[in-house]
Amino acid sequence: MRFYAPHRSSLTLPSGHRFPQDKYRMLHTLLLKDGILQEAQLAESLPASDESILRAHAADFVAQFENGELEEKAMKRIGFPWSRELVRRVRATAGGAIAAAETALEYGISGQLAGGTHHAHPTFGSGYCVYNDQAVAALHLLAAGIVERVAIIDLDVHQGDGSAAIFADNPSVFVFSMHGEKNFPFRKFPADLDVALPDGTGDKDYLRALADHLPAVFEFRPDLILYQAGVDPLAEDKLGRLALTYDGLIQRDQAVLNACKGRGIPVSMAIGGGYADPIEASVTAYANTYRVAKKLHRF
């Protein structure tokens, strides 16, 4: 059983930047400290190829981004300053998503201690997302003929608009997004199944909505599920606007992963959003997702 992390592609951001980059290092440390993962189970996320990235993203956008030629407005929409480090990081995250998906098909479960960059569209990046790692992975596997149908279960508090846009005309991929109704992005791109929740939604109503709509994913009969397990529905999240507890998120993960395992459907996980203050709350929630997966799959 292997999991992936883009360790060598860490991103250094300017002092005072709002994105909590340290959460990736903190999650890695916590997973090892608590014995949820062993060092030998973690592999480096290697860069995705041009061919893989260009299945999800327009050539002009990729070239301009990688050469540092995107307009200032486009980089502000992404939310990061351009750097070679950023290029390496997003390439590695896309490559890690491919590797995790392939490993999930072999072992039933895998994931990356990063990823879930679901706001990246074919021709632009947005909301701290440049390349859509799960879209790159799905299209890679479909092009290789390894799978015929892929489903994305996106439970980040923000709607997966980029994933919905990339797969709008692709009948081989089903995108389910359950998110905050009034949260970013403020212009939603319709997914195959959108469930919009009001501000302040707590555990009970959230889990009921999930139970009501999750069966639609399995009616699609996917060969693989890509799980965007964002923890920003947590009440402590400063960008979330929902009110889930740790236990509510654990029950969410149990519902998804148990349903997949019971049907024999492999799952590849991406950690998605998490912006709690202090950030340790998000890191704890990320680790809990891996605790649930470990207990179920005994890795």
Domain of 164, CATH number, reads 3.40.800.20
- Tens-place pLDDT, residues 213-266: 999 999 999 999 999 999 999 999 999 999 999 999 999 999 999 999 999 999
What CA dihedral angle connects 167, 172, 175 and 176, to 10 degrees? 160
Beta bridge partners, 196, equal: 179
Phi–psi pair at 290, nearest 5 degrees: -70, -30
| Residue 49 structural domain | 3-7+43-297
Q: How many residues does the chain have?
A: 299
Within a domain: residue 70?
Answer: yes
Assess contact for 209 and 197: CB atoms under 8 A: yes
For 172, how many CA atoms within 13 A lie in the half-sphere containing its CB? 15
Within a domain: residue 136?
Answer: yes
How many domains is the chain built from?
Answer: 1
Within a domain: residue 30?
Answer: no
Within a domain: residue 246?
Answer: yes
- Tens-place pLDDT, residues 74-95: 999 999 999 999 999 999 999 9
Local confidence band at 10 (pLDDT 50, 70, 90 cut-offs): confident
Fill in the amino acid letter for 226: L
Within a domain: residue 242?
Answer: yes
**C-alpha span between 298 and 86 (Å, rounded):** 35
Within a domain: residue 14?
Answer: no
Taking alpha carbons only, the member of 289, 136, 138, 286 closest to residue 222 is 138
Within a domain: residue 107?
Answer: yes
Within a domain: residue 38?
Answer: no
User: Considering the entire predicted model, what is its pTM?
Assistant: 0.98
